[in-house]
Structure 1
Amino acid sequence: MWACFFLMGIVILSSVQSLSTDIKSNCSMRYVQMRIKFQNCLPVRVLAQACHGSCVSYTATSSIDPKKLETKCECCQYVGRKRKRFGIKCPHKQYKNVYKIRVASIAVPKRCMCRPCSAAPNRLLSAERAIFMQNPMLDLLRIRTLFH
């Protein structure tokens, strides 16, 4: 019986590995044209970066426990952000038909990559949180990284 599970584990492991290697990720930075309306200013079109693409996700039989399922879910998400500045025409407060150029900014991604999916993008996942709770030293490291 153990040999059967061991053999089954090898077969399952190779099929899961094949799932993750057969599917290619294509998460990358793309440019999108956005129409931005700010307060009572005239709308302006801005060329901005955005993350776009797909990443490996699957659910398969667990190689550790064949009675359970194992899920891998990755999404194309940003890693870090920066500000993109642009000019926008706004009416002058005192004079009619007179406009002034104001500098405005939007947040855009610095980089894009496949990251674990979560309901709250770019936040810790519950599984990650559990790892930190099990090992207080990791949690301390995370807190130091956040505040330094």
Structure 2
Amino acid sequence: MTRNILDEIGQTPIVPLQQIGRGLPVPIYVKCEHLNPGGSVKDRIALAIVEDAEKRGTLKPGMTIIEATAGNTGMGLALVAAARGYKLVCVMPKKDERRQAARIGARGGAGAGDAERGAESSAQFSTGCGAIGKRRGLVFGRSIQESGQCTHS
């Protein structure tokens, strides 16, 4: 039995690729990261980002995490934020807003589409995310570098 859902992140099966590896001198395996608790291949990255920000003291209890995402990073962050007691706001492009906002919301996050931020380009998208961050919390953003290592791009 697991005490915390976050303990299960990364504990996904490693499966041999029997057909693709046939005839090769070495076996080929895949790690099924899509079977993480949040259903996202980015659950592990989201946990690393949050743990690093907590360790450095830039993310503290009561803060809101803001992420410019329309994909799996937002899904992973929603799980981690909910488990750690943080609020999460994901700023996403209008084209992805409805589908991803519903999925992220089901995991405890909130979506703020570009209708609110007016983001038409990636620069505006990042600027909109930063504007929310100044008002409400810590912005992670794209191509994040945490402790000198790129953990997300």
Q: Same fold (TM over 0.5)?
A: no
- Structure number with higher strand proportion: 1
Structure with bigger gyration radius? 1
TM-score (norm 1): 0.27
TM-score (norm 2): 0.27
- Structure number with higher helix proportion: 2
